[in-house]
Chains A and B, each alone.
Chain A
Amino acid sequence: MKVSITLSEIGTNIIHMSNSIVKKGFLFKKIKYNKEDDPMPRYIKLLKHFVRGEEMFFGFYRTDGINLTNEEWLKYDKEIPEYFQSYGRYELLVETAEKKGKQKTYSGYLAVGSLPMNDKTYELIPWIFHYHLETTLFSPNIDWETFVQSYRDYMKHGASDFIINGFTDFLFTYADSGGFSVEFNPKMFDKNVVYQEIAKILNE
């Protein structure tokens, strides 16, 4: 598995991993999810290792589904919101923005949720990842309302803002149809220690 560690320009550490199959093309690379050597079980192991606390907050941006069959898509299109609503919280966010002097509504792009972290939730997480284009999840240091208010400003915030603004000390992001990242406060976690722990879990 390709694993890279970077210090972001704004002072957080990011460890990014991907097990995608990359092929060179004429104009651009082709990146395909590696179903033969599925990285998802290892991502779940990492979550179980690093998650602290009983509840996680989730932020979603757009739907994806490129790694799902039509049947899987229809199943989880229904089951994911139902699961959040049954065991935690779930809100589809509706945004308004001024455009050419008029208020325009944007709905269906952003959603937020919270769940207790237990075996049933961990079983669903791979499907949550495949269903959404971007999933951000973390053990919160903030209350629900603050998170929802902040997530509404999706276009203004990168993942690092969650760390810099003190929402969490350790953030997980699944994006780009196969890329999993952990981002953390370098003042609280030693990047070499975190990297070694990740490498150990990935190679188990």
Chain B
Amino acid sequence: MTTRISGPSLFSADGGWGIHIGKTLKPRVGRVDLFYQNTKVNGGTFVSFNNSAGISKFRIDWDPSNGLHSHPPGH
């Protein structure tokens, strides 16, 4: 049984896994990741900028609770 409330179809690139541009030390993290789903918050990420180690450094997300928002580095 599937009961998930779908987020915007924008976050369905490559089946929800998103698009990667460039490479980092992590195999599935690009220097830029685009349009992937975050199902636990019923939302998704428009864009995540990552460093060469694969750490997210700046992200723009959408979810029903927070709406459109960004995450600047937290340390």
Q: Report which A residues bind B (CB closer than 8 A).
A: 4, 8-10, 16, 22, 25, 27-33, 35, 61-70, 72-74, 97, 99, 106-109, 133-134, 136, 154-161, 164-165, 173, 175-179
Given contacts A65-B56, A66-B56, contact A31 B69 (CB under 8 A): yes
The one of B15, B37, B55 that contacts A99, using a Cβ cutoff of 8 Å: B15
The one of B26, B38, B58, B73 that contacts A176, using a Cβ cutoff of 8 Å: B38
B53 and A28: CB pair below 8 A?
no
Chain A contact residues: helix, strand, loop or mixed: mixed
Given contacts A73-B53, A97-B15, contact A134 B40 (CB under 8 A): yes
Q: In the complex, which of the residues A16, A63, A74 has the most CB atoms of chain B within 10 Å of its own CB atom?
A: A63
A29 and B37: CB pair below 8 A?
no
A158 and B26: CB pair below 8 A?
no
B74 and A158: CB pair below 8 A?
no
C-alpha gap A158/B61 in the complex (Å): 17
B27 and A157: CB pair below 8 A?
no
Residues of B within 8 A of A33 (CB): 74
The one of A29, A61, A72, A108 that contacts B67, using a Cβ cutoff of 8 Å: A29
| A-B residue pairs in contact (CB < 8 Å), sample of 25 | A10-B5, A16-B65, A28-B69, A62-B36, A63-B26, A65-B54, A65-B55, A66-B58, A66-B59, A66-B74, A68-B75, A73-B55, A106-B15, A106-B17, A107-B28, A108-B27, A133-B38, A134-B41, A155-B39, A157-B39, A158-B3, A158-B39, A161-B2, A173-B40, A177-B74
Given contacts A66-B57, A109-B17, contact A159 B69 (CB under 8 A): no
B72 beta carbon closer than 8 Å to chain A: yes
Residues of A within 8 A of B51 (CB): 70
